[in-house]
Amino acid sequence: MRFIETKLEGCFVIEPTVFKDDRGYFMESFNENTFEKGIGKKIHFVQDNQSYSSKGVLRGLHYQCGEHAQAKLVRVLEGEVLDVAVDLRPNSKTFGHYESIILTAENQKQFFVPRGFAHGFLVLSDTATFFYKCDNFYNKESEGGLIYNDPTLNIDWQTPLDYLIISDKDKILPTLQNAKKVW
């Protein structure tokens, strides 16, 4: 398993070792000891989530605040998505910056998003099955979010914004300047 730190400290692209033969493939998607060595800290995941979406669906940018903050390990089981993390740590050199990566069932890459980040993804293929592990339980009262088209963030979604399918809840999220504080 290879861990590649992004320009956002603590965010990692993870390339698992994949063993292929004429039967298909085998890979280890998570190993607590390997993961701890790779990112430099122990993470204990407590919840798994999965979503299925159509092309153009944008989910996010969401986060959990305070004691309910969550780190996530995300991957795509079917299809292709543009995955995005936004640094919301107030003392970070990259506060308000984002990192994006294409995750596909074929490339089998994973993305580790630590606590203190907003997270979202856009489905680029006809459909996608998205899977993620969280290190803290979801808490509705601690939920926050950022509007996908915040001009301060200037996220390149690689798709014309007119074609996006966005929930009513996500259409009215605040900008970074007006967001519920993560810390």
Helix/strand number for the chain, H first, E second: 2, 13
Strand order in the sheet with 58-64: 98-104, 80-87, 117-123, 58-64, 143-145
Active-site residue (options: 63, 98, 132, 148) = 132
- Structure tokens that stand for 144 in this block: 């926050």
Verify whether residue 119 is a known catalytic residue: no
Strand order in the sheet with 127-134: 2-5, 12-15, 110-113, 72-78, 127-134, 47-54
Q: Find out whether 5 and 112 touch, Cβ atoms under 8 Å.
A: no
Q: How far apart are CA 159 and CA 164, in angstroms?
A: 8
Residue 40 burial by Cβ neighbours in a 10 Å radius (0-12, 13-18, 19+)? exposed
Verify whether residue 62 is a known catalytic residue: yes
Active-site residue (options: 62, 98, 119, 148) = 62
Q: What three-state secondary structure class fits 143?
A: strand
Active site residues: 62, 132
